[in-house]
Amino acid sequence: MSEEAASRVELTDEELIGAASVLLAQRGHRDAAALMLDVSSFRIDRHAVQEDSMSFSYERHFEEVILRVEPHLIPNSGYQLDHIKSAFETVGFECGRTIDDVVIREVIPKVGPNWREQLGRELKGGHQTNHARKVRLEPRHPGEDGLHFTNEWEHRVYQVLKEHQARLPQNETIGIMPLGALRVPGHTFEPDFLITYRGRVGVIEVDGSYHKGRASADLSRDRLFKHAGIRDVDRLCVEDSTTKEEVEKFVTDFLKHLVG
């Protein structure tokens, strides 16, 4: 066995999906990584084709990754898919697997004899909620009040926001929308939290260690938010906010600046 073959990492299909998803986040392709959280199901098809050259013939083995997401989550830009393909090719190479293609397809809806009623609900918007993301690949993702969060830090920030919400008068409180899809020209983003307060709208982003080196990209994203009418965008760095008191101060300052 060659040294290269001996160093290869053995991964199951699900581990391959997970490794590619985490690699996307580590590379800073946050939107593409977030899309992986919304994958409803996947399969990996294995193929073998006969290749002929001028001097010999051989059988080439390769794999195709098929990811299924809800129709409204299909990427409208080729960049996300390119980033996803690159991550899969890299992970596949490291474990001795040739990932030849990645395809993103729509989830086919389940229907029955009452499909007309189902269609009516869809046309009225009854199927959708105000929470666009469905965090599925990680079964232990945090959740509360029917809402879902990418990680524990987002959940902690939500709990502080919720406590602050409860202290405010009923007729002058805040609205909290975690991970809601927001379309701006040329991009669809999912801010960690979109906050409404006194007729103003702001965004809170919860930044982990993977945001190191992303200052330029984050500034561009924040600028797009502000051009679209978001009054204030603020970022909570989890490494600098290790206690609940620090998160509470951040939330208090954010709301003060939002209406100031």
Q: What is the pLDDT along the chain (260 residues), one digit of tens a residue?
A: 455 554 677 899 999 999 999 999 999 988 888 888 888 899 999 999 887 777 778 788 999 999 998 887 787 767 889 999 999 999 999 999 999 999 999 988 888 888 888 788 777 654 444 344 554 444 456 888 888 888 888 999 999 999 999 999 989 999 999 988 888 888 888 899 999 999 999 999 998 755 454 566 677 888 899 999 999 999 998 877 789 999 999 999 999 999 98
Cα 172 from Cα 157, distance rounded (Å): 20
**Do 105 and 166 belong to one domain?**
no
CB 157 within 8 A of CB 170: no
End-to-end Cα, the chain, rounded Å? 67
- Entry pTM: 0.51
**Do 81 and 155 belong to one domain?**
no
**Do 62 and 105 belong to one domain?**
yes
**21: containing domain:** 3-113+117-124
Do the domain assignments include residue 133? no
**Backbone torsions φ then ψ of 35, nearest 5 degrees:** -60, -35
